[in-house]
Structures are given as structure tokens and as C-alpha cells.
């Protein structure tokens, strides 16, 4: 049994495939509209700002801040039991988009809104590497 067996793993789709490939290469990939410069996440066919179909992929800085968070003290399933308590957070990337992730590598009681964080990557299966966030140093 691996540490992540039984967890709910994302299933890459044609629209998210590049994102998950990036994570496997330790790169946080987000979309950028070449027409208006808007960055977006999650991946979509069209720019959410100007509706252009000219959306490209760029590597994000990996830096952001905690926009909101909750501390999970009761695991949703046994697969998460060893990790409680853990933090689920909305991370606002420096580029603008918000994504949901975990804040790891620090005491859960130290996590706060506005906290600067940086991305790290953790392989949860052969196919899925998860982008996690930790306090920025
Ligand atoms: Zn646009």
C-alpha cells in the first residue's frame, strides 16, 4: 500500500492534460490569453475575460497567497486519516487565478489568510502529481 492509495485522484481530460503533464515535470502550468494577456485557471477553451480562443500555456511563478482556507480534522475516508489535521486552501497565484490545493510543511494553526506560499509537487500515483503549497521563505 502506498501513502496515497485510496485517495480521490483527478482524471486528466483533453483540456487539463497539459496542466497534469506540467505537474509531473514540477511545473505549474496555467493558461494565458494571447489576445488580452489574461491568465486563467482551471483550463478552458476560451478566455474568460475576452472570449478569445487564443489561449496558450505558460509556466506560473508558483508563488501566491492564501485567499481562504479550512482545517480538515476528520478525514473524508481512511485514505486521508494519516494526514489529519490538514489544510485545504484557495491559493491566489501572483498571476491572478485562484486554485484549490493543500498548504503543507507547516503547523496547520500557523496558516492564515494573506500568507505567502510557494508551490511544491508530490507524486500521488504514476500519472498524477499534485501541486501543493508551502510557506514561502
Ligand atoms: Zn483574453
- How is the chain split into domains, by residue range? 17-135
Around 94, how many Cα atoms within 13 Å sit in the side-chain half-sphere?
Answer: 12
pTM above 0.85, yes or no: yes
- The CB density around residue 58, as the number of other CB atoms within 10 Å, is 14
Neighbours of ion ligand 1 (CB under 5 A): 33, 35-36, 38, 47, 49-50, 52
Q: Is the pLDDT of residue 1 over 80?
A: no
71-124 confidence digits (pLDDT tens): 999 998 999 999 999 999 999 999 999 999 999 999 999 999 999 999 999 999
Q: From ligand 1's centre to the CA of 97, what distance in Å?
A: 13
CA torsion 23-113-69-45 (nearest 10°) is -50
Amino acid at each position: 500500500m502506498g501513502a496515497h492509495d485510496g485517495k480521490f485522484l483527478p482524471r486528466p481530460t483533453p483540456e487539463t492534460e497539459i496542466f497534469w503533464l506540467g505537474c509531473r515535470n514540477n511545473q505549474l502550468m496555467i493558461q494565458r490569453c494571447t489576445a488580452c494577456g489574461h491568465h486563467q485557471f482551471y483550463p478552458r477553451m476560451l478566455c474568460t475575460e475576452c472570449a478569445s480562443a487564443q489561449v496558450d500555456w505558460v509556466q506560473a511563478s508558483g508563488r501566491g497567497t492564501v485567499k481562504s482556507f479550512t482545517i480538515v480534522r476528520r478525514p473524508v475516508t481512511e485514505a486521508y486519516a494519516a494526514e489529519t489535521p490538514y489544510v485545504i486552501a484557495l491559493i491566489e497565484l501572483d498571476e491572478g487565478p485562484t486554485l484549490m490545493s493543500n498548504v503543507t510543511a507547516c503547523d496547520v494553526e500557523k496558516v492564515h489568510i494573506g500568507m505567502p506560499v510557494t508551490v511544491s509537487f508530490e507524486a500521488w500515483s504514476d500519472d498524477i502529481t499534485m501541486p501543493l503549497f508551502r510557506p514561502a521563505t
